[in-house]
Structure 1
Amino acid sequence: MEPEAKSRTWLAPAKINLALHVTGRRADGYHLLDSLAVFTRFGDRLQIEPAERDAFSVSGPFAAGVPLDDSNLVVKARDALRREAGAARTPPVAIRLEKNLPIASGVGGGSSDAAAALNGLSHLWNLDIDEAGLARIGLSLGADLPMCLKARPLIARGIGDDLSPLAGFPALALVLVNPGVAVSTPDVFKALARRDSEPLPPLPGRLDFHTIWNWLETTRNDLEPAARSIQPAIGETLKALKKAGAAFARMSGSGATCFGLFETGNVAKRAAIDIRGRHPGWFVAATRSMEAD
Structure 2
Amino acid sequence: MTQSLSSRPAGDAVESFAAAKINLYLHVTGRRDDGYHLLDSLVAFAGVGDLIRVGPSDDLSLAIDGPNAGSLAAEPDNIVLRAARALAAAAGVPAKAAITLTKRLPVASGIGGGSADGAATLRGLCRLWGVSPDETELARIGLSLGADLPVCLAGRPMQMAGIGEVLAAAPNLPPAWLVLVNPRVGLSTPAVFKARQAVFSAQAPLVGSPSDAHALASALAERGNDLTEPAVRLLPVIGDVLAAIAGQPSCLLARMSGSGATCFGLFADRTGAEEAARQLALGHADWWVAAAPLVIRGTQV
- TM tier relative to shorter chain: over 0.9
The code of the aligned residue for 2:71 comes to G
Pair 195,28 (structure 1): closer, same or farther in 2 beyond 3 Å: farther
Instruction: Name the structure 2 match of 1:251.
Output: 256
**Divergent runs of 4+, >4 A:** 1-4, 67-70
Pair 78,69 (structure 1): closer, same or farther in 2 beyond 3 Å: farther
Which secondary structure does the structure 1 equivalent of 2:264 belong to?
strand
Partner deviation per Cα, 1:194-236 (whole Å, 9 max, x = no partner) = 2521111543454421211111110010000000000000011
Q: Residue 209 in 1 paired to residue 213 in 2?
A: yes
Q: CA deviation at 1:242?
A: 1.5
Instruction: Name the structure 2 match of 1:63.
Output: 69
C-alpha distance in structure 2 between counterparts of 1:178 and 1:222, whole Å: 19
Q: CA deviation at 1:289?
A: 1.7
Unaligned runs of 5+ in 2: 1-6
Instruction: Name the structure 1 match of 2:49.
Output: 43
The code of the aligned residue for 2:63 comes to S
C-alpha distance in structure 2 between counterparts of 1:267 and 1:45, whole Å: 27
Q: Residue 176 in 1 paired to residue 180 in 2?
A: yes
Q: CA deviation at 1:119?
A: 0.8
Alignment of 1:20-169 (within 5 A): 20-67=26-73, 71-87=77-93, 90=94, 92-169=96-173
Q: CA deviation at 1:142?
A: 0.7
C-alpha distance in structure 2 between counterparts of 1:101 and 1:286, whole Å: 12
The code of the aligned residue for 1:106 comes to G
C-alpha distance in structure 1 between counterparts of 2:167 and 2:111, whole Å: 18
Which secondary structure does the structure 1 equivalent of 2:295 belong to?
coil
2:10–2:129: 8 Å Cα contact kept in structure 1?
no
Q: Residue 221 in 1 paired to residue 225 in 2?
A: yes
Identity over aligned pairs, percent: 45
24-33 vs 122-131, which deviates more? 122-131
Match of 1:290 among 278, 292, 295: 295
C-alpha distance in structure 1 between counterparts of 2:242 and 2:88, whole Å: 42
1:223–1:254: 8 Å Cα contact kept in structure 2?
yes
1:70–1:76: 8 Å Cα contact kept in structure 2?
no
Unaligned runs of 5+ in 1: none
Partner deviation per Cα, 1:22-55 (whole Å, 9 max, x = no partner) = 0000000000000001011100000111123221
Name the TM-score, length of structure 1 as normaliser. 0.95
1:25–1:195: 8 Å Cα contact kept in structure 2?
no
